[in-house]
Amino acid sequence: FVPDLADWAHVNAVIHDSTDNTIIISARLQGVMKLTYDNKVKWILAPHYGWRKNRRGEELAPYLLKPIDAAGNPITDTQVLNGLADRADFEWPWFQHSPALTPDHNLLVFDNGTTRNNNPDLPKYSRAVEYKIDETNMTIQQVWAYGKERGLETFSGIVSSVQYLPEKNHVLFAPGWQVANTVGKGGKIVEIDRATKTVVAQTSVSSPNLWGFHRTKRVKIYANGNPYTE
Q: How does DSSP assign 164-214, residue by residue? A: EETTTTEEEEE--BSEE-SSSEEEEEEEEETTT--EEEEEEEE-TTSB--S
Residue in 10, 16, 97, 105 annotated catalytic: 97
Query: Going by C-beta distance under 8 Å and a sequence separation of 6 or more, which residues neighbour residue 119?
Result: 84
Q: How far apart are alpha carbons 72 and 134 in whole angstroms?
A: 11
Rounded to an integer, what distance in angstroms lies between the CA atom of residue 19 and that of residue 22?
A: 8
How far, in Å, CA of 89 to CA of 122, rounded?
A: 18
pLDDT along the chain (230 residues), means of 10: 72 96 95 96 97 92 98 98 98 98 98 95 97 99 98 97 97 96 94 98 94 90 67
Q: What is the pTM of this model?
A: 0.93
| DSSP line for 123-137 | PP--EEEEEEEETTT
Q: Domain coordinates of the chain in residue numbers?
A: 11-206
Alpha carbons 118 and 52: distance in angstroms, whole number:
19
Helical H segments across the chain, by residue range: 78-81
16 is catalytic: no
What is the per-residue pLDDT for 2?
Answer: 62
Give 66's strand partners. 139
Q: Residue 74: helix, strand or coil by DSSP?
A: strand
